[in-house]
Amino acid sequence: MDRMLVVVFDNETKAHEGKKALLQLEAEGSLSVYACLLVTKRADGLVTVNQEIDTGPLRTLVGTLVGCLVGLLGGPIGFAIGGAAGLLAGGTVDINRARIGGDFIDDVIQELLSNRFAVVAEVEEESTTPVDIRMETLGGIVLRRAVSDVKHTIHEDHIAAMKADLAQIKAEHTKAHDERKAKLQEKINQLDSKIQMQLQKVKDRRDAAARQAQAKVEVLKATAVAAKAKAS
């Protein structure tokens, strides 16, 4: 499953170790890394890319997705991209192009505080456990979200992505040992809560759209009646 992965660290040394660990997991066959970069959240709130982006064969597509995510984390002012300029410059900072939910962006922003570092990657992984265990050992905070297959995303896409993650984690929970079960259960509870919140947002949006549509119908009816009265 394709996922956007963000691992937050307190210092740059650990972040570099986290990046190396991610690539080592790829070498071991635990996952595929499409694009991977290391970023810093500066004291002024700007997110900077520490180095050029490492990319696989999906250079343009994946680099743009990762670039969108970095831009969203950096806020509306923009972000310093250093040696990665050639790859990221063409990407519009648009949450729909990033193909992940706004709540995921909020979660990352809450963890990626000033003077913290993060490994940002797009990966394909069948199990979340290898990355989680390796990064937790290094003191990293792991956040991930399945990438929507739909180019122009809506809330339903994000819910489907979260449900896919939830199903995967539940499957791993049934096979995990007791200590790991507790951590996975916490992830299950958090993700289920997010899904319920998104479902409510979908309902609220649909209700609002229905009210707006009905209001438009009433306006058209009133206009037609007024036009008929004027003609007569």
**pLDDT, tens digit, 9 for 90 and up, residues 103-134:** 888 889 899 999 999 999 888 898 999 999 99
Q: How confident is the model at residue 99 (pLDDT cuts 50, 70, 90)?
A: low
- Percent of the residues in the chain that have a pLDDT greater than 90, as a whole number: 26
What does 140-175 look like in DSSP terms, one character per residue?
PEEEEEEPPSSSS--HHHHHHHHHHHHHHHHHHHHH
pLDDT at 97 exceeding the cut of 60? no
Separation between Cα atoms, residue 199 and residue 195, nearest integer Å: 6
Angle of helix 12-27 relative to helix 129-137, nearest 10 degrees, comes to: 150
Which of these ranges, 26-35, 150-159, 164-173, has the smallest mean pLDDT? 150-159
Q: Give yes or no for a contact between 128 and 6, defined as CB atoms under 8 angstroms apart.
A: no
Which band of pLDDT confidence, cut at 50, 70 and 90, is reported for residue 90? very low
Give percent of the chain with pLDDT exceeding 70. 71
Average pLDDT over residues 169-179: 89
Q: How many Cα atoms are found within 13 Å in the side-chain-facing hemisphere of 63?
A: 19
Which helix (H) or strand (E) segment holds residue 32: the answer is: strand 31-41
**CB neighbours (10 Å) of residue 109?**
16
What is residue 136's predicted lDDT score, i.e. its pLDDT? 93
Return the pLDDT at 150.
Answer: 38
Q: Which residues pair with 142 in a beta bridge?
A: 7
Query: How far is residue 232's CA from residue 228's CA, in Å, rounded to a whole number?
Result: 6
pTM value? Answer: 0.61
Query: Measured between alpha carbons, how far is 204 from 122 in angstroms, rounded to an integer?
Result: 31
Q: 183-221, pLDDT tens digit by residue?
A: 899 999 999 898 888 888 777 767 765 775 575 466 557
